[in-house]
Structure 1
């Protein structure tokens, strides 16, 4: 039996659809009642290890993903402890590109810490390390639609953005097929592009003149907070973008094509598919 967490988010929803489509039995751990086609849904709280152990009974493989929160590292640590106690054999964890325990980026440090905890537990692991999500741009869709602009502190550094649907496909493969134990997969799109190129692709897809405006971090932080991000998350995003601006997210991986048999989705295709949002 497979259990997936984060089943109602972008990646989890796509993963659940793929598992259901291929006829793979799975459970979905949710915080509130929700119907997920093909899944045996269980209500559970990742802050409660006992409820997690109950949900994990009979589970051999688990997909670990949590929402971004200040408690994410603790919640994932709870899950790893519960999985080990319940006899789970293999965890597929959604991590982050360039996760490393000494990273200046807090999100990467916490992912690296959980990766290490899983390794030390003795359970088999597959760590999925995706780069910046293409779908993240949808969070700025209203801004782009009304102002024809978007902003970030990144300069002209290229980033190999990845489509979350490709991440979900790799996750489904790692969960349902053999020979993915104790592997680390960097997941990227087929090319590294700048934010100015992102604007160009959006312009071509929408027929509008959309531009990217590079802004200093000192300007971006209050804008993020005004947009509703809590301070810890705004600061973490600034650390992420400093990482991108240093050119540390430009590497391109062939893993998606190697595992799925299909090329990773490119941003131009994403822009055309989601043009109506912008």
Structure 2
């Protein structure tokens, strides 16, 4: 029997890329999501009945017969860890032998970036279940920098002079596919930090954005109070705003600065840097051009 790899989040930017790579490698995949109509139609892939992480029975049915689970972390929420644990319990009950979990660099119970704490608790739970596992700790996404830049051309936040080794979604997907398709136990109980080729400050990110887009982009260093105030109008709950602000503070404290060679080691190609990402993804910064706001 061909081993089945279950892929969650296949309608998203990480899971979707991974699903396509597995399909291209002729792997047997099962795509899992809350809304199956949003999942891609891919050769060699089947679509499970609707299942969300928090619905243990639906997840167990969706995972029945799968050997490996690629678990993309759920969207940030106050109960995210509980939902992750329910999904892990369902995987164990369904007989899944291995979990490859998408985590975050610096995952720790006292991480400055509050959402990274969720990842640490999830990792600990997976470890406690005795299932084979691999953790892919992604750094900040390269796509975030043009997205975080306002139409006024300002990248603002309390990031200080800290550096961030941001990574491309494509590199994460390539690394994940390499791990998932390896039938050996090479990656068991291994934690990979997935980063870009270098670490840069937010001021340097603004300079690169300016050079590539032709639009003057500047970095405005906010205080913590300014950061909360400038995001107050989004209508987000306090825990979410805290996550946004603390991500910058984690950069300021150097918690996302370490550069890893995991991407080239796993994929056989160099990791993509910010300039290359912006050049190859002009749609990510088109909102910065005059007349497109």
Counterpart in 1 of 2:168?
163
SS of 2:143 mapped into structure 1: helix
Structure 2 unaligned blocks of 5 or more: 289-293
What does residue 119 of structure 1 align with?
127
Match of 1:174 in 2: 179
Q: Secondary structure at the match of 1:272?
A: helix
Q: CA deviation at 1:151?
A: 0.9
TM-score (norm 1): 0.94
Could you tell me how far apart the structure 1 residues matched to 2:47 and 2:228 are?
Answer: 38
Alignment of 1:23-38 (within 5 A): 23-34=26-37, 35-38=39-42
Note the 1:100-249 alignment, pairs <5 A: 100-140=108-148, 143=150, 146-177=151-182, 178=184, 179-249=186-256
Q: 3-state SS of the aligned residue for 2:47?
A: strand
Q: Which residue of 2 aligns with 1:86?
A: 94
Q: Which of the residues 25, 43, 51 maps onto 1:22? A: 25
Q: Give the deviation of 1:10 after TM superposition.
A: 1.2
Maintained 8 Å contact 1:20/1:37: no
What CA RMSD, in Å, does the superposition of the two structures yield over aligned residues?
Answer: 1.5
TM-score normalised by the chain length of structure 2: 0.89
**C-alpha offsets along residues 189-219 of structure 1, whole Å, 9 cap, x if unaligned?**
0000011111111111112221111111211
Contact kept in structure 2, 1:6 and 1:67, CA below 8 Å: no
**1:156 aligned counterpart, secondary structure:** coil
Q: Which runs of 5+ in 1 are unaligned?
A: none
TM-superposition CA deviations, 1:129-165 (whole Å, max 9, x none): 1111111234335x2xx31222111011111111111
Decide which of 8, 11, 14 is 1:8's aligned counterpart: 11
CA shift at 1:51, angstroms?
Answer: 0.8
2: distance between equivalents of 1:197 and 1:41? 43
Distance, in Å, in 2 between the alignment partners of 1:94 and 1:195 is 25
